Amino acid sequence: MSAPVRDPEPPPVKAASVPAALAEPTEPVGRKWTFLLVLANLGVWMAFMAPLQVLLPDQLDSISPDNKKALLGWVTAAGALAALVATPLCGALSDRTTSRLGRRRPWTVTGALLSAVSLAALAPQDTLAGVIVAWVFVQVGLNMMLASLTAAVPDRVPVAQRGLVSGWTNLPQVLGAVLGAAVASAIVPGRPGYVALGVAVVGLALPFVLLTKDDPLPESARPEMRTVWRGMWLDPRKHPDFGWAWASRFVTQLSGASASLYLLYYLEDEVKVADADEAILQLTAVTALFLLVTVVLGGWWSDRVGRRKVFVLGAGAVLAVSSVVMAVAPTWPAVVTAAAILGAGFGVYLAVHSALLTEVLPSAADRAKDMGLVNVANTAPNLLAPALAGPVVWLAGYPALFAMSAVLTLGGSALVLRIRSVS
């Protein structure tokens, strides 16, 4: 077997010949910059999670109570497909934007406005078709924002600080779910909650847009527009480090998506809880609590020791333990323990693996597009999990499902060992 092809080293250039927008960042970002990026991401994740948790299920229940679960599946699948296309495509277009305002700001603002208008349009919909169309536009707007906001880390943050910043910027995934549910269920309940979420998206994004720097890209340095679609595929033979990091994220996310798909039924059929919906809320809270503790700490620690792979491997082992507990001990105390272990491991994994990914991006000119391709590794497993998990549960039961999840997690985390350019 031939040796793997290394990522090609760029030709040496003088620092003055590299536009600021494409230069490797060296100046550490401050707390203000990080806080404003966290706020912008918080708005995105509130608008992602609250409709899925509260508003869409209630809306579809009012449209067809007998078919609400099937309808929700159609809506979420349509949104996931839109996200798969929108994030890398909008990222690629962002990479080619030469506005005086910068490469990222126009896409952050446009995405915020599009998602806010689409959320408002979603509120009065009383047909499945109307809900699907409006939700697809919400997803396009939010993923437009996500493409530009995730690129901000490799654009502005030095490598030695990326673990800590990635830890902070992953917090909104948890906080957004909690705060979004609070808005949609208590503060502004019912369909007006859609409008409130739209206001939050715009209001939380504007401070980052207005108060942080975004270097414009000179026309002379803009990648050719005809390369946009061709760039949606990156040959892992030419960029093996990025390929292994992408595969690692994909396999680990597939493990999590497969394990969580039948969690409600596992709690009902194996654990025998009285109220599975309430049990899931409690487990989510436990997982979120432990994730909040470790996500920033893990990223900071990784920066301090200057290593990434050992943290990813350790986090993968912790996640696998969580799955093993679910497989061998279907009792409520054991499941709560597994949720705590899951949160602790996933917090470290999110922060450190996200930082690792920013260090293996193939090109400074395509940072947003390549981070958009990472989002495919996060999203696509949700579409594939039913085809993988369903037959396993049907043929061998829930213990086999969680055992498979443990094996996938260990395998996914171990793939980072193939990365050569990051320690």
- Give me the pLDDT at residue 98, please: 94
When pLDDT is cut at 50, 70 and 90, the band that residue 190 belongs to is: confident
| Among the listed residues 293, 250, 227, 289, the one whose alpha carbon sits nearest the alpha carbon of residue 388 | 250
Tens of pLDDT along 344-383? Answer: 999 999 999 999 999 999 999 899 999 999 999 998 898 8
- Give me the pLDDT at residue 326, please: 96
- Give me the pLDDT at residue 284, please: 85
Q: Residue 350, Cβ neighbours under 10 Å: how many?
A: 23
How many whole angstroms separate alpha carbon 141 and alpha carbon 150?
14
- Give me the pLDDT at residue 39, please: 97
Q: Residue 347, Cβ neighbours under 10 Å: how many?
A: 28
Least confident piece of the model among 101-105, 223-227, 390-394, 396-400: 223-227
- Give me the pLDDT at residue 265, please: 87
What percentage of the chain has pLDDT greater than the value 70? 96
The pTM for the full model equals 0.88
When pLDDT is cut at 50, 70 and 90, the band that residue 15 belongs to is: very low
Domains and CATH numbers, the chain: 30-211 (1.20.1250.20), 233-418 (1.20.1250.20)
- Give me the pLDDT at residue 275, please: 86
Tens of pLDDT along 113-142? Answer: 999 999 999 999 999 999 999 999 999 999
Residues 26-60 as b/e (b if ≥16 CB within 10 A, e otherwise) read eeebeeebbebbbbbbbbbbbbbbbbbbbbbbbbb
Q: Which two tokens stand for residue 352?
A: 């450190």
When pLDDT is cut at 50, 70 and 90, the band that residue 218 belongs to is: very high
Residues 66-85 as b/e (b if ≥16 CB within 10 A, e otherwise) read eebeebbeebbebbeebbbe
Decide: 355 and 381 in contact? Cβ < 8 Å.
no
When pLDDT is cut at 50, 70 and 90, the band that residue 224 belongs to is: confident
When pLDDT is cut at 50, 70 and 90, the band that residue 13 belongs to is: very low
Residue 229 amino acid letter: W
When pLDDT is cut at 50, 70 and 90, the band that residue 53 belongs to is: confident
3-class secondary structure, 361: coil
Q: What CA–CA distances, in Å, run from 306 to 153, 303, 356?
A: 17, 5, 11
| Among the listed residues 38, 48, 46, the one whose alpha carbon sits nearest the alpha carbon of residue 139 | 48
- Give me the pLDDT at residue 382, please: 84
Residue 422 amino acid letter: V
- Give me the pLDDT at residue 298, please: 96
Residues 255-277 as b/e (b if ≥16 CB within 10 A, e otherwise) read bbbbbbbbbeebbbebbebeebe
Range among 56-60, 233-237, 304-308 rated most confident = 304-308
Q: Which residues contact 213 (CB under 8 A, 6 or more apart)?
A: 102, 156
Average pLDDT along the chain? 91
In which element (H, E) is residue 37 found? helix 31-50
How many whole angstroms separate alpha carbon 28 and alpha carbon 394?
52
pLDDT at 12 over 50: no
- Give me the pLDDT at residue 280, please: 85
pLDDT at 323 over 90: yes
Decide: 118 and 141 in contact? Cβ < 8 Å.
yes
End-to-end CA distance of the chain: 24
Q: Say which residue the tokens 């599009």 belong to.
A: 114
